[in-house]
Amino acid sequence: MSSRRCAACKQLRRRCPSDCIFLPYFPPNNPQRFSFVHRIYGASNVGKLLQQVQEHQRADVADSLYYEAYCRIKNPVYGCVGIISILHQEIDRYERELAKVQAEISLVKGQTQISQGQQVELSSSSFDLSTTTPWFY
Amino acid sequence: MSSRRCAACKQLRRRCPSDCIFLPYFPPNNPQRFSFVHRIYGASNVGKLLQQVQEHQRADVADSLYYEAYCRIKNPVYGCVGIISILHQEIDRYERELAKVQAEISLVKGQTQISQGQQVELSSSSFDLSTTTPWFY
């Protein structure tokens, strides 16, 4: 066995070939990284998911698989879908707050115009609430 | 083989026992649902992930695994981490817009006070930007 085996080959107790698909993305000094994706996807599926994209995209595949595996271990019921759900709640909170603040601006504009007979320079918000990403799109 | 085999047992060409772990969550009339999770996680890993939570949580596990698998098939590089990234960009956009609108309100309040010697009733926004979810938390 080579002394520079990647974390995957080390954990799977096998020889690490120089063209090992895991080697660039699962270094031996971070065994947890491979351990997490192995536990959720299995080594063979991770290998397949890396193989099916171009070489320059593989680091991102490994990172995103690790992140999803990490989330699933942390939250076995919802995984990173739980995070998507929290972010959607946050966006809803922003939408409500922005609508409230925009209504306040309209009110102030109206009050200023009536009581002063002059208009305060105030740009209306250009934020389009209809462009927000729908849940489960 | 039973005629009421679940989608998993049908696809894996095996008998579907009455206590099959997949049966309640992968009905035979939706073969794509199992096909997707099988392709990304493998049947054995999906079974393990279902087993490790309580029975009342399994439907949510199956739903979230299906959603993650669907995202990974649609976006092989980033999977649903790509969606998390988009949602964070959207939240950044909201933060910037809200800060802009809040600055406008402060300006209007100041102008109104100076020119009129009277204050327009206007509540300051209670939205705390520091509470937003950090990326990769």
- What ipTM is given for this predicted complex? 0.79
Q: Which of A94, A132, A135 to mutate to test the interface with B (most CBs of B within 10 A)?
A: A94
**pLDDT for the residue numbered B2:** 43
Residues of B in contact with A86 (CB under 8 A): 133
| pLDDT of A53 | 98
Instruction: Using alpha carbons only, give the angle B53, B82, A50 rounded to the nearest 5 degrees.
Output: 80
Distance CA(B71)–CA(A127), nearest Å, equals 28
Mean pLDDT of A50-62: 98
Min distance B3 CA to chain A CA atoms (Å): 30
For the segment A64-68, the average pLDDT, to the nearest whole number, is: 98
- Test B78 with A86 for CB contact under 8 angstroms: no
How far is the alpha carbon of A3 from chain B, nearest alpha carbon, in Å? Answer: 30
Q: Residue A112 above 90 pLDDT?
A: no
**Confidence class of residue A117 from pLDDT cuts 50, 70 and 90?**
low
Tokens of A24: 């660039």
3-class DSSP assignment, residue B59: helix
User: Which residues 81-110 of A have a C-beta within 8 angstroms of B?
Assistant: 81-84, 86-88, 90-91, 93-95, 97-98, 100-102, 104-105, 107-109
How confident is residue A1, by pLDDT bands cut at 50, 70 and 90? very low
Q: Which residues contact B53 (CB under 8 A, 6 or more apart)?
A: A76, A77, B61
Identity (one letter) of the amino acid at A56?
H
pLDDT of residue A40: 98
pLDDT in tens, B98-118: 999 888 888 877 777 776 665
Measure the CA–CA gap between B30 and B7, rounded to whole angstroms: 7
- Which of A4-13, A21-30, B71-80, B116-125 is predicted least confidently? B116-125
CA distances in angstroms from B104 to A124, B100, B113, listed in the order given: 10, 6, 14
The burial of B3, by beta-carbon neighbours within 10 Å (0-12 exposed, 13-18 middle, 19 or more buried), is given as exposed
Q: What does the block give as tokens for B64?
A: 């979230």
Asked whether residue A113 carries a pLDDT value surpassing 90, the answer given is no
Mean pLDDT of A39-57: 97
Is the distance from CB of B61 to CB of A77 less than 8 angstroms?
yes
Could you report the per-residue pLDDT of B31-82, keeping only the tens digit for each? 999 999 999 999 999 999 999 999 999 999 999 999 999 999 999 999 999 9
Mean pLDDT of A34-50: 98
